[in-house]
Amino acid sequence: MAGDWPDSGEFWKDKHVVVTGGAGFLGTFVVQKLRQRGAMEVFVPRSADYDLRHLEAIQRLLADARPDVVIHLAARVGGIGANRARPAEFFYDNLMMSVPLFHESWRAGVEKFVAIGTVCAYPKFTPVPFKEENLWDGYPEETNAPYGLAKKMLLVQSQAYRQQYGFNSIFLLPVNMYGPGDNFDLESSHVIPALIRKCVEAKMRGDDQVVVWGTGTPTRGFLYVEDAAEGILLASERYNESDPVNLGSDMEISIRDLVHLIARLAGFEGQIVWDTSKPDGQPRRALDTSKAWQLFGFRAQTPFEEGLRRTIEWYRRSLAR
């Protein structure tokens, strides 16, 4: 096991790495860790220069960067509201910036492609905790199915290209991430940054209530962004199969408990009002993370409350800037 894994520094020292989405929330941490590990070159394409929805831009990127490894983090993402409002965009953009990039990476002789999927690819009703073998047991939750299925095609592609061409690629399924630098735009953010923003700003204004979507009954698992970045790099170094692997933590919390926890940490003491006209999303969501530990030695390190504190403090500092 551990003794057979390559040394991180040795693995990356001669590698040219492209990190799509490398300037984004998760990508910033992945790039930072790659540089700490001594990667020879880390190339972060910006969408203004390389719009990955277009084949010409993908081909130009691979010609310019000549990568040994591609870590594909770029995606159009958002919470329930954004997915409901723009399902066609979420499907098309994620499919078109992923499938051609994968194909062209194979054509260009890339040594390894690291594809990042999403927990939204799981069926709406999946036994909890989600195990990788249940991934094809049903249709995803309707509000994020277009996004989840577009990302899931990378798994099909990974398995097909390994079978026909022997192309080395892996497919990881991260649970919802959170942490400093997250997207706090209420129109497109995920649940944790949205709740942090609502509670912090309500306290600043002296509001007596915060309105939250849904009933509070669904559950979610979460992974601190720095842990997620570490998991992706460990998988890149140590895992070389196309079977999907979950990336998460061993926690599950109801949205109701999450709201009260964030309110307490943010110092908001007013009333929580539930807007039950809004959707809940998937009923339960938590991952079985045993394969990540067995296959590449990853286990989440950051306690949930500590991660929330760091994220709240980061958001408060961002408001003061």
Number of H helices, E strands in the chain: 12, 12
How does the average pLDDT of the chain come out, rounded?
95
CB of 218 within 8 A of CB of 256? Answer: no
At residue 2, does pLDDT exceed 80? no
- Ranges of H-type helices in 207-271: 225-238, 255-266
For tokens 């953010």, name the residue. Answer: 189
Reply yes or no on whether 147 is catalytic.
Answer: yes
At residue 57, does pLDDT exceed 80? yes
At residue 58, does pLDDT exceed 50? yes
- Ranges of H-type helices in 97-141: 99-107
pLDDT recorded at residue 1: 46
Residue 212 lies in a domain: no
Q: What is the pLDDT of residues 175-226, one digit of tens each?
A: 999 999 999 998 878 899 999 999 999 999 999 999 999 999 999 999 999 9
Residue 167 lies in a domain: yes
**Measuring CA to CA, which residue among 100, 110, 34, 102 is closest to residue 66?**
110
At residue 267, does pLDDT exceed 90? yes
Distance of CA 244 to the CA centre of its chain: 14
pLDDT recorded at residue 296: 98
Average pLDDT over residues 97-114: 98
Pick the catalytic residue from 50, 122, 139, 147. 147
pLDDT recorded at residue 80: 77
Read off the DSSP letter of residue 5: S
Query: What is the span of the domain harbouring residue 25?
Result: 2-180+221-252+284-301
Count of the separate structural domains present in the chain: 1
Parallel/antiparallel/unpaired status of strands 209-213 and 271-275? parallel
55 in helix, strand or coil?
A: helix
The neighbour count for residue 296, using CB atoms within 10 Å, is 24
Which CATH number characterizes residue 125's domain?
3.40.50.720
β-bridge partners, 70? 18, 113
**Measuring CA to CA, which residue among 168, 165, 188 is closest to residue 85?**
188
Average pLDDT over residues 2-8: 76
Percent of the chain with pLDDT over 70: 99
What are the E-state strand segments in the chain?
A: 16-20, 41-43, 69-72, 112-116, 169-174, 176-178, 209-213, 219-220, 222-224, 245-247, 253-254, 271-275
pTM, two decimals, is 0.94
Average pLDDT over residues 294-299: 98
The tokens of 266 are what? 């943010």
Instruction: Answer with the residue of higher pLDDT: 310 or 283.
Output: 310
pLDDT recorded at residue 81: 81
Q: What is the pLDDT of residues 24-53, one digit of tens each?
A: 999 999 999 999 999 999 999 999 999 999
Distance separating alpha carbons of residues 115 and 153, to the nearest angstrom:
10
